[in-house]
């Protein structure tokens, strides 16, 4: 009888230990979930408040309630009213951001492949200069660029906004894609050249299709950076028809000089932000794949 009574006691101890071990990871997992939830809420609160403020009536713009009551689309109607010109500003942002992204992707891909695959004199110096150009703050370049563009007649033109944006987007694209190309096996090009292709043909037919995730990620990041650019567009443009969306939002005026149209600015901010959020949500898997593809061989 004693042997029979001791058996459950002995078997219960390992069960408690295994239960404790299983509960410990569960507790850490809950802490991880809570931490992620706090970060998500912290990041989404400003966007939520922007949407709520945009859906309030102009007379209720100083209301602090978390839900607008009643919901009004008057601010959005004001944003796209005749004479405001916000539609043209959105078009200007699309042209500037799209052109910057396209040029950055073309030039950055060739430059990154050259740094990653070819050996030439001054390669390390070229790489150092590329990364050094990204260290200059944009504000320090405004005055010399403004003087240069004034002398050559480029003020209030697309190229006056695109070229400075390239100087900030290209270093990021080159270093991102160069890391991606370095992780690709060199045997891919060697096998293609054994089959009779030149290096250029191997790059175009073999490497570029495999580099699509990294190129797509670079394009998205570049487009978002160019879309949100403000200081260059503000300094290089004086005509209302050439202003980008970010500049137009900052210069919205109210009914009187000392009136600040918070609701109208919030509505315009929603119009500018929502497309980027949708693009990131749709292509988030490709973006993550592009960011992590070069990390593991």
193-233 residue pLDDT tens:
888 888 888 888 888 888 888 888 889 889 999 999 999 99
Of the pLDDT bands very low, low, confident and very high (cuts 50, 70, 90), residue 247 is: very high
111-164 residue pLDDT tens:
999 888 888 888 888 888 888 887 877 788 888 999 999 999 999 999 999 999
Which are the contacts of 227, defined by CB distance < 8 A and separation ≥ 6? 93, 97, 246, 272, 276
On the CB side of 288, CA atoms within 13 Å amount to: 6
Residues 54-73 have a mean pLDDT of 85
Provide the pLDDT for residue 9.
46
Measured between alpha carbons, how far is 184 from 296 in angstroms, rounded to an integer? 10
Q: Which of 95, 226, 110, 210 is nearest to 165 (CA)?
A: 226
Give me Rg for the CA atoms of the chain: 27
Measured between alpha carbons, how far is 43 from 25 in angstroms, rounded to an integer? 27
Percent helix, percent strand, percent coil in the chain, to nearest 5: 75, 0, 25
Report yes or no on whether pTM surpasses 0.75: yes
Q: Can you say whether the dihedral through the CA atoms of 168, 283, 75, 50 is positive or negative? A: negative
Q: Which of 100, 101, 135, 145 is nearest to 235 (CA)?
A: 145
Residues 235-249 have a mean pLDDT of 92
Provide the pLDDT for residue 290.
61
Q: Which of 245, 223, 242 is nearest to 80 (CA)?
A: 245
Of the pLDDT bands very low, low, confident and very high (cuts 50, 70, 90), residue 17 is: low
Length reported for the chain:
297
CB 265 within 8 A of CB 196: no
Alpha carbon 260 to its chain's center = 29
């Amino acid at each position: 009888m004693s042997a029979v009574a001791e058996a459950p006691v002995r078997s219960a101890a390992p069960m408690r230990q295994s239960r404790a071990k299983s509960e410990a990871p569960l507790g850490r997992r809950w802490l991880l979930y809570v931490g992620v939830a706090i970060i998500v809420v912290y990041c989404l609160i400003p966007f939520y408040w922007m949407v709520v403020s945009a859906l309030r009536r102009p007379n209720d713009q100083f209301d602090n309630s978390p839900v607008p009551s009643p919901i009004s689309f008057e601010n959005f109607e004001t944003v796209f009213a005749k004479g405001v010109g916000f539609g043209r500003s959105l078009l200007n942002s699309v042209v500037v951001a799209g052109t910057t992204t396209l040029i950055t992707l073309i030039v950055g891909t060739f430059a990154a492949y050259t740094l990653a695959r070819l050996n030439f004199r001054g390669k390390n110096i070229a790489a150092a200069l590329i990364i050094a150009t990204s260290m200059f703050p944009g504000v320090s370049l405004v005055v010399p660029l403004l003087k240069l563009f004034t002398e050559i007649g480029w003020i209030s033109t697309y190229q006056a906004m695109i070229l400075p944006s390239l100087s900030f987007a290209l270093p990021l694209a080159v270093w991102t894609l160069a890391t991606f190309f370095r992780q690709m096996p060199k045997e891919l090009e060697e096998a293609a050249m054994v089959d009779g292709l030149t290096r250029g043909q191997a790059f175009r037919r073999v490497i570029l299709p495999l580099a699509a995730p990294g190129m797509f990620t670079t394009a998205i990041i570049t487009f978002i950076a160019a879309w949100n650019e403000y200081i260059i567009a503000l300094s290089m443009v004086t005509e209302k028809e050439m202003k980008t969306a970010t500049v137009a939002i900052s210069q919205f005026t109210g009914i009187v000089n000392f009136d600040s149209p918070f609701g109208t600015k919030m509505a315009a901010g929603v119009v500018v932000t929502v497309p980027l959020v949708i693009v990131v949500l749709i292509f988030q898997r490709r973006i993550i794949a592009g960011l992590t593809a070069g990390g593991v061989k």
